[in-house]
Amino acid sequence: MSFDLAARLAERRTADLFRQRPLLQSPQGPEVQVDGQRLLAFCSNDYLGLANHPDVLAALQQGAQRWGVGGGASHLVVGHSTPHHELEEALADFTGRPRALLFSTGYMANLAAVTALVGQGDSVMEDRLNHASLLDAGLLSGARFSRYLHNDAASLAQRLNKASGNTLVVTDGVFSMDGDVADLAALSATAKAHGAWLMVDDAHGFGPLGAQGGGLVEACGLSVDDVPVLVGTLGKGFGTAGAFVAGSDELIETLIQFARPYIYTTSQPPAVACATLASLQLLRSEHWRREHLQALIQQFRQGASELGLRLMDSHTPIQPIVVGDSARALRLSALLRERGVMVGAIRPPTVPAGSARLRVTLSAAHSHAQVARLLDALASSWSLLNQEMPIDA
């Protein structure tokens, strides 16, 4: 017996679900070089335009000169450098939590938090549309795993009534494929009423949301008692790399002692922590970035609505255009690319069957003229798509 990998790949191609990696040949920015073509990009999570900011670049270069490149070892051996420690203290202050713990990736942070807090005999409740890393963490924890209806506190309450042991409720803050936000106040109240903890992965909220860029939790005015476990990533609004968990001293110490993805991995390069300290300062002080981004979101939503495009209930930088059929989504993306605009087509299993979409993401680095260009390209591409591939065909 052998693995029939060719058949699996062929099946994915036939279903219009085969994925390919675009080759980025320039730094992140509104205009990029991809596969030899100059494109106006609306598919990056660099929401505040900090990934190529000169201050962040300078901090990275200075950090590498001072601290070298590699982390060298795990944090618990000799890999916990001064920049890592300073960044953790800065993130704790930023989030209003007693402590924060740095991770190399958001996937690792989510796996670490869930699997360190619950196990056999416990319960974990997750939103049906949570990020794959959260769902994987719930399954790998060994706890009783249940998924409640999307953003539905009543559905959560029904499942909490059947929970056993320590119970963890897990949700995205901003849902990465729909762009909508969790009803954190209702979820927190429901979790508290059942003696459960709420964990929020606000990967896409930090930077764009909140008066200080502190994400959805800040925007909702929730404390560490309301959201005991707060996760954020640094590769999106911060423009660098890595992730963190923020919470009580007891939570962070528990992760240090029991979280396998933290214990058994090399620390991130200390120079990246230096860069993140610089981007954090920009994120907190340059409020115009959030204000400009909100203006771009309003411009796009109004223009897309006038074109008759099907948008979702999102007022975040994530603006999905629902197409439905995977082949149509791929074709629409290709038509935009022919017009010099890059927007990725998102298909199952990343999103539910029948809900393939173009995931437009906006950045504070975009201009109003560039958003207008996107809308013009969408108008002509959408019209041509409906001629080539009518919905009733």
Burial of 75 (0-12, 13-18, 19+ CB in 10 A): buried
Q: Using CA atoms, how far apart are residues 225 and 303, in angstroms rounded to an integer? A: 41
- Between CA 299 and CA 306 the distance in angstroms is 11
Among candidate residues 204, 267, 366, 381, the one labeled active-site is 204
CA dihedral for 336, 338, 341, 343, sign (positive or negative):
positive
176 catalytic, yes or no? yes
The pairing of strands 167-172 and 144-148 is unpaired
162 has catalytic annotation = no
Strands in 123-127's sheet, in edge-to-edge order, are: 99-103, 243-247, 229-233, 197-201, 167-172, 123-127, 144-148
User: Does the annotation mark 53 as catalytic?
Assistant: no
Residue 122 to residue 19: CA distance in whole angstroms: 37
Widest CA span in the chain: 62
- Taking the C-alpha atoms of residue 163 and residue 161, their distance in angstroms, rounded to an integer, is 6
Spatial distance between the Cα atoms of 231 and 242, rounded to a whole number of angstroms: 11
**Which is the catalytic residue, given 123, 155, 176, 333?**
176
CB 47 within 8 A of CB 350: no
Among residues 53, 75, 236, 292, the one annotated as catalytic is 236
- List beta partners, residue 145: 124
Ramachandran category for residue 308: left, alpha or beta (phi over 0 → left; psi -120 to 50 → alpha) = left
Least Cα distance to 364 among 220, 243, 232, 236 occurs for 236
CA atoms of 308 and 137, how far apart (whole Å): 39
What residues contact residue 345 under an 8 Å CB cut-off, 6+ apart? Answer: 323, 326, 329, 330, 332, 333, 356, 357, 358
Q: Which residues are catalytic?
A: 176, 204, 236
